[in-house]
Amino acid sequence: MNTVFSRKVFLSILFSLLFLSAWGQRKVIDTLFVDGVPVAYTETNWFVDEGDKVPDFTVYGQDGSRIRMKDLRGKVVAISFWITTCGPCKKELGRVGPEMVDVFPKDSFAFLAIGSGQEKEDAEWFASQSGATFPLCYDPSGKVFGKFADNGFPKVFVIDRKGIVRYMDAGYSEEKFSRLKGKIAGLISE
């Protein structure tokens, strides 16, 4: 009787641990497109979802300053995670300055382009390679990205003035970029 009870308790605890480790994330199959043609598929675990409170984090600006998410409360914040080997990231960041950073009011909008696992030199180099006209951010540890998802770049999140994730997307395309601008504009006007 004790052995049966112990097994049931053990299995119950094991099931609970497995369930809890998967809880709070959603698994998505991402498709990588090159010139409109699907070339690869990856599985991504997203650790935040629309409606969740944005995780708190600190990253570094290209000038070495610390940027904390909690200090941006009250603004609409777009976060895009990039790495230096990401072609779609380069295309996206080259457009962000003239089409978002220079257009939306600075007192109500911030764009954080965060290099995951990147250093200051990487941010400087990637800014010049992508044509980014605004300072990029970097997170040498890569841990900030791990609060949002586990692979695939770019990953974009839009946070409202109250710190709630209101939009998220993966990859880059004309359609996605247009949707991103529209979502930001809508949240700024709320």
Q: What is the pLDDT of residue 13?
A: 43
Position 58 pLDDT exceeds 90: yes
Position 171 pLDDT exceeds 60: yes
Look at the block and give the residue holding tokens 């641990």: 17
Position 166 pLDDT exceeds 70: yes
The overall average pLDDT reported for the chain is 87
Look at the block and give the residue holding tokens 């770049």: 153
How is residue 164 written in tokens?
């709630």
Position 161 pLDDT exceeds 50: yes
Span 111-133, average pLDDT: 97
CATH number for the domain whose boundaries are 24-189: 3.40.30.10
Q: What is the pLDDT of residue 10?
A: 44
Position 155 pLDDT exceeds 60: yes
CA distance 92 to 130: 8
Per-domain residue ranges for the chain?
Answer: 24-189
